[in-house]
Amino acid sequence: MKNPIRLTVAGLAIAAAQTVAAQPAPQPAAVVEGVQLPAWVERGDDRKAPLAPGMELKSGEQVRTGANSRVLLKMSEGSLVKLDENGVLKLDELKPDQGGVFRASIRVLEGAFRFTTDALMKGRRREVNITVATVTAGIRGTDLWGKSDTADKQIICLIEGKIEVGAPGEAAVVMDQPRQFYQRNQGKTAPVGFVEAQQLGQWAIETEIATGRGAARAGGKWKVTLAASETQDGALSVYDQLRANGYPAEIHPTMAAGKRVYYVRIGSLPSKEEAEALAAQLKGKMGVGEAKVST
């Protein structure tokens, strides 16, 4: 009688293991959807890595963009966060599912940003606080643009929805009309006003990834081969320079004509146009010679 019992217990254990294995992996709180290079993620303890499409981001990490760079992040509940060039954004807290509510706390230390929600995702429950320098906006599903610059000036402009904005020591104000904007200059808050549609359009362009600038996107099939070396050290020399400067290079060893060759590449480019733009951008820099574009 012992063997059937053992078999039954073993069968239950296998079934339980299969059930656990069949459960989907938890969805990342934030993922890099697109990046107009160069850009980095800073993970503390001086750890720094180039930002790449598909990269998962976690609480405590910081995103930094370089000159002419843009970043597009997608949150697990469908909202999008965009960051302009020379920007710094800190993900203080990301909680993808707190009782059915997405909660996040984001700090924009430098640069322009935009928080927006896809029309199909506006019904999702979210509680997001975005702090621009010393100004905090409480968001419950909306679309807004903001900026913090080195002259100690902060702007938050409502595009759609409703937000509550305030600075330490001051009463918060509610903005619920499109194109209302809150401005704080060198520690002094101005009355809430309205911005012209043309000005808002100019602000919004600052955070958009431009076409034909060598931007990488999640799912992109094109790649740029930036160097080929018969030695690993030769490939690492180019690889290290590229990654230190915010470009997510990878090394791909392969056999060619009976010899091992180490190729240095950047992938995830969505089109030939974007791949060629990145190749032109990097040609003659950081050890890159004649870059080649392919799928």
Give the torsion sign (CA, 17, 18, 19, 21).
Answer: positive
- DSSP string of 196-234, one letter each residue: -HHHHHHHHHTTSPPTTS-EEETT--EEEEEEEESSHHH
84/70 Cα distance (integer angstroms)? 5
Homologous superfamily assigned to 215-294: Sporulation related repeat (3.30.70.1070)
Does the pLDDT of residue 23 top 90, yes or no? no
Does the pLDDT of residue 19 top 80, yes or no? no
* Tens digit of each residue's pLDDT (9 = 90 or more) over 209-260: 999 999 999 999 999 999 999 999 999 999 999 999 999 999 999 998 889 9
**CATH hierarchy code of domain 30-205:** 2.60.120.1440
Name residues whose C-beta falls within 8 Å of residue 16's C-beta, 6 or more positions apart in sequence.
Answer: none
Q: What is the mean pLDDT of the chain?
A: 89
Place of tokens 């480019």: 269
| Average pLDDT over every residue of 119-140 | 79
Among residues 119, 127, 176, 130, the alpha carbon closest in space to that of 155 is found at 130
Instruction: Return the pLDDT at 16.
Output: 42
Backbone angles phi, psi at 78, to 5 degrees: 105, -10
Q: First-to-last CA distance in the chain?
A: 62
Q: Best-predicted range by mean pLDDT among 92-96, 118-122, 140-144, 208-212?
A: 208-212
Task: Output the pTM of the full model.
Answer: 0.87
* Tens digit of each residue's pLDDT (9 = 90 or more) over 248-293: 999 999 998 889 999 999 999 999 999 999 999 999 999 999 999 9
Among residues 146, 127, 144, the alpha carbon closest in space to that of 75 is found at 127
Instruction: Return the pLDDT at 207.
Output: 97
* Tens digit of each residue's pLDDT (9 = 90 or more) over 191-219: 999 999 999 999 999 999 999 999 999 99
Does the pLDDT of residue 15 top 50, yes or no? no
* Tens digit of each residue's pLDDT (9 = 90 or more) over 45-97: 778 999 999 999 999 999 999 999 999 999 988 899 999 999 999 999 998 77
Place of tokens 């990097």: 282
For residue 124, give the DSSP letter: S
Backbone angles phi, psi at 205, to 5 degrees: -60, -30
Instruction: Return the pLDDT at 191.
Output: 95
Inter-CA distances, 244 with 16, 51, 62, 248, Å: 45, 11, 16, 9
DSSP three-state, residue 22: helix
Kindly list the domain boundaries of the chain, sorted by start residue. 30-205, 215-294
| Residue 118 banded pLDDT, cuts 50, 70, 90 | low
